[in-house]
Structure 1
Amino acid sequence: MAKYPSASILLLVALVCVSGVAQINGLDIHNSICKTLVETRGYICQEHHVTTEDGYILGLLRIPHGRSGSKSTRDQKPPVLLQHGLLADAASWLLNPQDQALAFILSDKGYDVWLANTRGTDSSRGHKSLITKDPAYWDWTWEQLAAYDLPALFNYVNNQIGQKSHYVGHYSLGTLTILAAFPIAHLGQISTTLLRVATQTFLAEQFYIFGLREFPPLGRLEQTLQTILCIHPGVDCSYILTAITGPNCCLSPSSLDLLYEHTPQSTSTKNIVHLSQMIRSGTIRMFDYTLPLKNLQHYNRFTPPVYNMANIPKDIPLFLGYGGRDALSDVNDVKALLYDLKDHDKDKLVEQYVEEYAHMDYGLECQ
């Protein structure tokens, strides 16, 4: 299990509502999230860079105070780290108006807000020795994000602030990476037909076999949707967001426009393969190299180890929020997770269910 210094954790088991770029060492310096989505709203935004133990250079944004709060960064404000979900970046927390976007809500309530960007996204494409054209740059899944990215981010914030950090994670990648032993946790019952067809046809594996290490592959995904996935019986691609996430009730047109400007962000194809394996198997386990001897090299056993929910410390404060119309975080999968947590300290686990919310609707204040 990865180690995190003085971290209190808030997990959202749902995704919050939510150009030419010059680069230095793979890091964006123009049209940044700070300039386009934060400073334009009247907030101060700082850009930090964090280097992981395995060499990735991550863009980390900071909103040190709210519009009406103290402008001194020395004031002791509780820090909170926001981690986005799959195929997204820190912009996920900033797409709605100030009174509906979690990053701004927390900032105005007195939190010191830090916004992570996962390796491979526009703000985190740097590396000490690799470039994104190198296949080795993309040789990772969510396990490496848990082992390297989050510890580096927590340590950086802790060193800057000197006090424990809260954590808020978007479903899915944000909850997967906070604890390697506490992923999203179950994917076996997702109701989105489009993604089920994609996993059953081994779409990600085909991309990987053809040497496409960055996902989504440029020009290939749209063609694949049109020629393979969207023609499958039961798949309706008329509204692609609904086909993937379920019927979202509460996204404004302006928020959707901003969402489409900032997604999809890149991840590794290997990461998508790993998630696909979890959907097909219905289990939470390490990456399956498919060949028993290769698994033996990595794990000293022929099959990948399964994560044990019993290893989750029972006194970690957890908040689990989910929606009834979410096609990715199916209610039955969340109930399976809650069953896994049945022995968790009762005063440390809070559950909230909103019937009308789909995957992109859900958002709550840090508590």
Structure 2
Amino acid sequence: MIQRFVDNIIAVTKESVKTLTYESLNNIVRLINGISALLLTFLPGKANILEGIHGWELRPTFRGPRFPRWMENGVSSFNRFVHELSVDSDSDGSNLDYAYGDEDSDDGISPTSPSSQSSRASRASSFSKRDRRWSWWMWIRYIFFWILFPARFLLGIPVRILQLSYTRSSKASSAPGSNEASQTHPINKVQILKDYIVHRSTDRRRGVIEDLHLAIEIFIEAVFDVVHKAAHFVLSPSVAFKTLSGWCSLSSGGVQDSHSSDTEVTVPTATLGENDPAPKERNTSFQQSLNTDARTCQDVITELGYPYEAIHVITSDGYVLLLERLPRRDSRKAVYLQHGILDSSMGWVSNGVVGSPAFAAYDQGYDVFLGNFRGLISREHVNKNISSRQYWQYSINEHGTQDIPAMIEKIHQVKTAELKLSQPDVDEETNDGQPYKLCAICHSLGGAAILMYVITQRIEEKPHRLSRLVLLSPAGFHGDSTFMFTVVENVFLLLAPLLAPLVPAFYIPTRFFRMLLNKLARDFHNYPAVGGLVQTLMSYFVGGDSSNWVGVLGIPHYNMNDMPGVSFRVALHLAQIKRAGRFRMFDYGSGSANIEVYGSPEPFDLGEYYGLIDVPVDLVAGRKDKVIRPSMVRKHYKLMDESGVDVSYGEFEYAHLDFTFSHREELLAYAMSRLLLVEPTPKQQSSQKAVRLKKKTPANS
């Protein structure tokens, strides 16, 4: 009777603490969201800044708690969740398959085994197994494991001491006489713990607030679980006596049992790792254990039902680039899409089927190639031991003279070989031995790099293999910029000699801070006023540009595993271009260094060589673009027009990032219309004419 009364008191207290904590956290979030909305009311120009965000609302929305499936029969408690994990250790790890959220599914989770089904069937009897013998040091480590788990859960900091403690506890619990099902390898138990708490608890990406709420609930459950066991020991002297006797037996034979347990389970685990793919799946799942959106461009493309191919390209200076493709192997028209700064190929597919340039081009019959510049944190290079300083030693020069040439030459090799195979009668002498037409669509820094590529290839009398350029807000001229950019340029050029030896690149260095950025982006979407404030401050920093900066932070390539960075030299190169007021190559700082590279004491002024551009160029500017203003795009147009280039100019009501991240159909229609201006090869023209004549014959009428 007393024990039941104490259990009820503990249960009521626990639920009260959880409710109070949950409501307090929600009230804090509401307060932050409300203050953000209040600040937005007084900030000038917010209406224009947020105008470019489609579907953005400054209306706070708060979601109530999502009830997990394990809340059976109206049990609104985490007790069963934590108790089955920590106490009922004789249940097999494969039964941990609960999903978080009533509308979620178990996609991506392997089917359960028969043993897991039987363990779930015996779930009701698991509560009677609380009198397992644990030694005092096991209890201390167990308690500290759960007390410090929120820090590990939120921060992702490896706590090897806790893992080791849990491992030893697991070995001790698998001593002779214990349940056979509990003799799971200790390392597997730790991994099961991670998967169960972090990965299996939800299959959707969470923000920091959701992570904090889950960690607090787990912490409260762990504390009250310890209190509950302590009360049982106090109120049940017989159980305490059995436990004390168990301590003596464990202390006398613990070392020997631990050693024997170690030898028994190590060999089967090694065999399992060699022959069974399950460890790989478990490893993969843990990569997503913190629930960040780590999808790749391949994931997005294949999920939408489009074909995908990855081509690894090695530049002449040893950088390994990823050229991604939506293949149409028999097509004689191809398009190459090149991203801008702090972006990747993901930008061309991030809007899904409707609104993504890559999918629009593929649907129009193009063989689509997505280029990726060097500059990922993973530092792909033929030299696996390359240092960070060595890897980031490149400027825009290398993008235009190393990256793009390597990728376009690879495209040429692939297309030529495939067309020879599918169309043996292909005319290789057409267009300098090129039986296909290749157009390029480039954004921002990609536009500057492609212009550098064409000009340098022409100077070196090499074929550039391009038939048309569509440049979306291309970089190259930055004289007309905002006050903030001018200040940053002056400060950067002033401090460059001091920063160059210390800062090889600008990127987020650790997985924790990359994870934090990824999760904060989710919170910005969940709490619109907070997101609106961040959006406003970001746009102020770039001079009032109304791009959806918050939305871009949620793009999958900004994840905890990898993301683009900017080398110090690329930033310095942009500052040099702005200071000089000319589109020129990188200045190495001295006349002798420039003479060694360029043959002259001054870097090449690319604007003076626009006359070498021998393909049509379509320039597109955004009226709301404050990063690269329309006046700077018109400067490209003026120089090209004066040099005799076949150039066109167009403007849209776009901000800088809208060219890749918006869902506006008019840009896609315009870009596709410019690509269609490229005439097919003579072989295609003759074949198309033959088809038309065949259709007109009486036999086919």
Q: What does residue 486 of structure 2 align with?
A: 196
Counterpart check, 1:38 vs 2:301: yes
SS at match of 2:372: coil
| Structure with more of its chain in strand, by fraction | 1
The reply on whether 1:175 has 2:438 as its aligned counterpart is no
Residue 350 of structure 1 corresponds to which residue in structure 2?
648
| Larger radius of gyration between Structure 1 and Structure 2 | 2
Counterparts of 2:355 and 2:549, CA distance in 1? 11
Deviation per residue, 1:34-58 (Å, 9 max, x gap): 3432112221211110111111110
* 3-state DSSP of counterpart to 1:86: coil
Q: CA deviation at 1:257?
A: 2.8
Amino acid at match of 1:179: L
- Residue 273 of structure 1 aligns to a residue whose secondary structure is helix
Distance 1:254 1:243, change over 3 A: closer
Q: How does 1:221-300 map to 2 (within 5 A)?
A: 238-241=536-539, 243-244=541-542, 246-248=544-546, 251=548, 257-258=554-555, 261=558, 265-300=564-599
For residue 179 of structure 1, give the secondary structure of its aligned residue in structure 2.
helix
Across the aligned residues of Structure 1 and Structure 2, the Cα RMSD in angstroms comes to 3.4
Indicate how the Cα distance of structure 1 residues 21 and 120 shifts in structure 2: closer, same or farther if over 3 A, else same: farther
1:342 is paired with a residue whose SS is helix
Contact 1:131 1:137 in 2 (8 A): no
The alpha carbon displacement at 1:302 in A equals: 3.8
Distance 1:299 1:113, change over 3 A: closer
What corresponds to 1:153 in structure 2? 407
Count of residues paired in the alignment: 315
Measured in 2, the distance between the counterparts of 1:254 and 1:186 equals 27
Partner SS for 1:258:
coil
SS state at 1:85 partner: coil
Are the aligned partners of 1:56 and 1:126 in contact in 2 as well (CA < 8 Å)?
A: yes
Write out per-residue CA displacement over residues 18-72 of structure 1, whole angstroms, 9 at most, x where no aligned residue: 99999xxxxxxx95523432112221211110111111110111112xxxxxxxx
Q: Which runs of 5+ in 2 are unaligned?
A: 1-52, 55-155, 157-282, 286-292, 417-435, 457-473, 514-533, 660-666, 676-701
TM-score calculated relative to the size of structure 1? 0.74
Q: CA shift at 1:214, angstroms?
A: 2.2
> Counterparts in 2 of 1:38-77, with a 5 A limit?
38-64=301-327, 73-77=328-332
Q: What residue number does 2:361 align with?
A: 106
Q: Structure 1 residue 315: deviation in Å?
A: 3.6
Q: How many Å separate the matches in 2 of 1:129 and 1:253?
A: 36
C-alpha distance in 1, partners of 2:407/2:394?
A: 17
Structure 2 Cα separation of the partners of residues 113 and 304 of structure 1: 34
Equivalent of 1:333 in 632, 650, 655: 632
* Alpha-carbon distance in 2 for matches of 1:159, 1:303: 36
Which structure exhibits the higher relative contact order, with contacts defined as CA atoms closer than 8 Å and separated by 6 or more residues? 1
Post-superposition CA distance 1:250-301 (Å, at most 9, x none): x598666327836961131111111111112212222223344444444454
Secondary structure at the aligned position of 1:261 is classed as coil
**Matching of residue 306 in structure 1 with residue 613 in structure 2:** no
Cα deviation per residue 1:305-344 (whole Å; 9 max; x = unaligned)? Answer: 3224344335411110001111121122122221101235
SS, match of residue 91 in structure 1: helix
Distance (Å, rounded) in 1 between the aligned partners of 2:657 and 2:643: 28
Matched, 1:91 2:390: no
SS in 2 for 1:329: coil
